[in-house]
Every structure is written in structure tokens, then in C-alpha cells.
């Protein structure tokens, strides 16, 4: 089911409304709510680095809308110290990582002093051995957009500290008006504390 949801999202339609248009409320809510959760993770202050696809940066794509809403929702006390635009395929097939492991490690090393690294392109699925070799110290990782279901080990190893994952049936519209209502209808928040719901 998650794979179906992600295919819909990557197609750019948002799979909402049945008319092929982008559900801007949904993706704006994703960015807005995750900005607030990231600010909480950073105790309302600090430095963050944003990682976004070149397909979405400054574009009116679904994830471009989420990215813009995230930046606007961070508030003045959180400083965006860098934005990394990475080249990703427009269509992702099974087994293709939008953010390869070596690039992910490079970013963790490059921005080791940041409080959070926020990814709009997901993170690679790492083996326990790869997790053990990650640099330390490193920023906390927030995943706003994911293209693969992260494993429990990714959270247990604090590779990911916070992630928004689509709920089954997330292509259904919500009658809520607020960003939080839209978010709650479409996504679930996963942290190291509740990651037991995920595959090993």
C-alpha cells in the first residue's frame, strides 16, 4: 500500500480529488506541520540544512509545495544554514534510492555541526553495518518525504529521528480545515520511540 501511495505522490497528482490536480492543501499541511515538529526537535532554535530534489526546488510540484511551506513554517528562531538540491530521477523504480548512501554520508559529514538535516528526498535504507559506520557527531535527521519505508533499525540507530510516513488510504480527501487535520488524515509521525510499527 505504501508503494502505491508513493507512486501517486511521485506522479505529481497527489492522487486527490480524482481530477489530476495537485492537492495543495495536503502538501502545504505536510510542510507546515513538519516545520513545527522540527522546531520542537531543535528546542525552538538552532541550525538546519534542507535537502530537496532539483525537480522540486522552487517548483509548484507536490513536494515543492511542501518544501515551500516548510521553509515558511520554521519561524525566525530556526536558521536554515544551507539548502542542498540533489538530482533525482523523475520516476523512481523499486530498488532505486533517490538519495544514495554515499551522498547521505557525505551530507552528514559536511553538516556535522547542524542541529538537523531535513530531507525531502528520503534517506537510503542502510544495513546494520552501514549504520555502525556513520559519522559521529552528526545532525539529527528529519524525513519529510520518503520513497522507501524506513526500517526499525534506522530509528533504533538514531539514523532517523523523525519521519512523516503516508497512512494507508492516504489518497483520500479530508474534510478538515487546519493544517494539522490535513496532516493527521494523511500521515503518521514515526520516531525512535514508536518505530515498532515498522519492518525490521
Q: How many domains does the chain have?
A: 1
pLDDT at 66 over 70: yes
Could you read off the pLDDT of 69-112 as tens digits, one per residue? 999 999 888 999 999 999 987 766 565 678 999 999 999 999 99
Report d(CA 63, CA 57) in Å as an integer: 8
CA distance 27 to 107: 25
* Residue 13 scores a pLDDT above 80: no
Distance CA 140, CA 136 (A): 11
Phi-psi region of 9 (alpha: psi -120 to 50; beta: other; left: phi over 0): alpha
* CATH (domain of 166): 3.40.50.2300
Global pTM reads 0.85
Question: What was the pLDDT predicted at 172?
Answer: 59
pLDDT at 2 over 50: no
Which whole number is the average pLDDT over 166-190? 82
Tens-place pLDDT, residues 141-158: 999 998 888 889 999 999
Amino acid at each position: 500500500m505504501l508503494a502505491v501511495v508513493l507512486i501517486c505522490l511521485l506522479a505529481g497528482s497527489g492522487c486527490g480529488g480524482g481530477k489530476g490536480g495537485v492537492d495543495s492543501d495536503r502538501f502545504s499541511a505536510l510542510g507546515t506541520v513538519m516545520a513545527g515538529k522540527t522546531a520542537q526537535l531543535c528546542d525552538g532554535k538552532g541550525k538546519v540544512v534542507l535537502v530537496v530534489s532539483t525537480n522540486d526546488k522552487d517548483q509548484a510540484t507536490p513536494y515543492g509545495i511542501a518544501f515551500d511551506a516548510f521553509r515558511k513554517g520554521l519561524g525566525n528562531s530556526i536558521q536554515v544554514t544551507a539548502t542542498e538540491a540533489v538530482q533525482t530521477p523523475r520516476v523512481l523504480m523499486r530498488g532505486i534510492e533517490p538519495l544514495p548512501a554515499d551522498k547521505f554520508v557525505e551530507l552528514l559529514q559536511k553538516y556535522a555541526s547542524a542541529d538537523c538535516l531535513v530531507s525531502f528526498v528520503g534517506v537510503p535504507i542502510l544495513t546494520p553495518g552501514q549504520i555502525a559506520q556513520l559519522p559521529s557527531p552528526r545532525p539529527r535527521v528529519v524525513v519529510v518525504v520518503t520513497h522507501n519505508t524506513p526500517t526499525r533499525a534506522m530509528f533504533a540507530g538514531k539514523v532517523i529521528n523523525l519521519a512523516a510516513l503516508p497512512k494507508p488510504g492516504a489518497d483520500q480527501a479530508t474534510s478538515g480545515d487546519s493544517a494539522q487535520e490535513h496532516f493527521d488524515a494523511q500521515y503518521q509521525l514515526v520516531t525512535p520511540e514508536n518505530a515498532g510499527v515498522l519492518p525490521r
